[in-house]
Amino acid sequence: MLNSTSPPLTFFILGAYMDVGILRYLYFVITAVLYIIIVTVNVLLIVVICVNRSLHEPMYMFLCSLFVNELYGSTSLLPLLLVQILSDVHIISVPLCFLQIFCLYSYAHVEFCNLAIMSYDRYLAICCPLQYHIILTHFKVSVFIVVIWLYSFVKFLITLSLTVRLTLCGNVLNSTFCRNYLVVNLACSGTSVNNIYGLFGTVLTVLVPLLPILYSYTKILRVVSSGSKQMRQKAISTCMPHLASLLNFSFGCIFETLQSRFDMITAPSELQIIMSMYFVILQSLLNPIMYGMKLTKIRHECKRCLGMFMMISC
């Protein structure tokens, strides 16, 4: 442990890793393959949506923002995780640790806000189909997306600035990657401001996206319950990918909270790495595959783009 008179910290030790011997190479290959798949499918869908003018609709623009965020979140975690899996000394520099904290926390907030605005989009499409394009113009959609990203970045820049100012009396994080809560726990100076803002920020992080989600699905249920069987089937088909994505992300956040708030150093290292990966990897894999398979327009355009690529290659 370090005291307040020690030199400034230059690195953190990630203490959740354990020696897994030759299995590290298997974990590395699995993680690398998953990362390649995530990058490939998300980039493919982003290109397909951007290139095809027929997909320049509000729903697809929100999906494009979602896919960009999957790239952002997975790149914030997986390259460093790959390095740590192969390394014998599990350390990370202080600036890189703080950068990872900012990226992962802002990724999570952008994801939740993006899913919230997508629920509002589904509400308008189902409950107000005639006014859909009047209410959700391209300008409004662009404003929504910009606000989501800016709001998330500013919110966690404040969080990070409060953490950076702390004097730390240790440098061991019982985790497989950097978490703000664990860094704050190392402080030997007062953390009351961090705790108050953290509580306030958590309420904002949950309530701001949750309210439009609850409002939208309450309205959808009311309209669908009094509608025809065909309308119910259409609503279920339209909302199912969004609900699956929302539930999966919620489970990932619960796992992340459990790891952050409770000492899991006694848990098997394999379990800790899997839980660390679940927070980002499954969401980044699920969204593009699910939406790509479920939405006919995206599926058709992906097939057409892949067909053109194969013809050019030949």
pLDDT tier, 267 (very low <50, low <70, confident <90, very high otherwise): low
Any domain includes 171: yes
Given this model, what pLDDT does residue 259 score? Answer: 64
Q: Closest Cα partner for 264 from 202, 187, 178, 176? A: 176
Confidence at 4, pLDDT banded by 50, 70, 90: very low
pLDDT tens sequence across 124-138 = 988 888 888 899 999
Residue 4 resides in a domain: no
pLDDT of 1 strictly over 50: no
In a domain, 260, yes or no: yes
CA dist 80 to 2, 4, 83, 129, Å? 25, 29, 5, 45
CA 150/CA 148 separation, integer angstroms: 6
Tell me: the pLDDT tens digits for 221-257? 888 877 777 777 777 777 888 888 888 888 877 777 7
Neighbours of 201 (CB within 10 A): 18
Q: Rounded distance, CA 290 to CA 113, Å? A: 19
Residues 175, 14: contact at Cβ < 8 Å?
Answer: yes
pLDDT tens-digit profile of 135-168?
999 999 999 999 999 999 999 999 999 999 888 8
Average pLDDT estimate for 248-277 = 67
**Domain presence at residue 1:** no
Pairwise CA distance, residues 46 & 39, whole Å: 10
* 202 CB burial (10 A radius; 0-12, 13-18, 19+): exposed
Give residue 171's pLDDT.
87
**Crossing angle (nearest 10°) for helices 269-294 and 229-261:** 160
223 within a domain of the structure (yes/no): yes
Distances (CA, A) of 238 to 57, 234, 288: 15, 6, 15
Asked if the structure places residue 2 within a domain, the reply is no
Q: Is the pLDDT of residue 3 over 60?
A: no
Confidence (pLDDT) at 116: 92
Q: Backbone phi, then psi, for 139, in 5-degree steps? A: -65, -45
The two tokens of residue 44 are: 């493919």
Identify the pLDDT of residue 66: 94
The domain of 27 spans 11-313
Q: What is the mean pLDDT of residues 78-100?
A: 90
Residues in contact with 240: Cβ distance below 8 Å, sequence separation at least 6, in sequence order: 294
Say whether pTM exceeds 0.75: yes
**Any idea what the CATH number is for the domain that residue 240 is in?**
1.20.1070.10
Residue 10 is classified by DSSP as -
pLDDT band at 7 (very low <50, low <70, confident <90, very high): low
Q: Residue 16, SS3?
A: coil
pLDDT in tens, 183-230: 988 888 778 888 888 888 878 888 888 888 888 888 888 888 777 777
Q: What is the mean pLDDT of the chain?
A: 83
Mean pLDDT, rounded, for 31-56: 89
Torsion of CA 263, 266, 271, 276, to 10 degrees: 30
Alpha helices in 262-313 (DSSP H): 269-294, 296-313
Q: What single DSSP character describes residue 53? A: G
Instruction: Report how many domains make up the chain.
Output: 1
Instruction: Report helix, strand or coil for 56.
Output: coil
User: If you write DSSP's letter for every residue of 132-184 in order, what string do you get?
Assistant: HHHHS-HHHHHHHHHHHHHHHHHHHHHHHHHHHTSPBS--EESSSS--HHHHH
Q: Residue 57: which residues within 8 A CB-CB, separation 6 or more?
A: none
Nearest to 85 by CA among 77, 93, 74: 77
Percent of the chain topping pLDDT 90: 27
Measure the CA–CA gap between 83 and 278, rounded to whole angstroms.
Answer: 18
Which of 15 and 60 is assigned the larger pLDDT? 60
301 within a domain of the structure (yes/no): yes
pLDDT at residue number 268: 60
* Residue 273 pLDDT class (50, 70, 90 cuts): low
**Average of pLDDT values for 118-127?**
89
**Considering the domain boundaries, does residue 142 fall inside one?**
yes
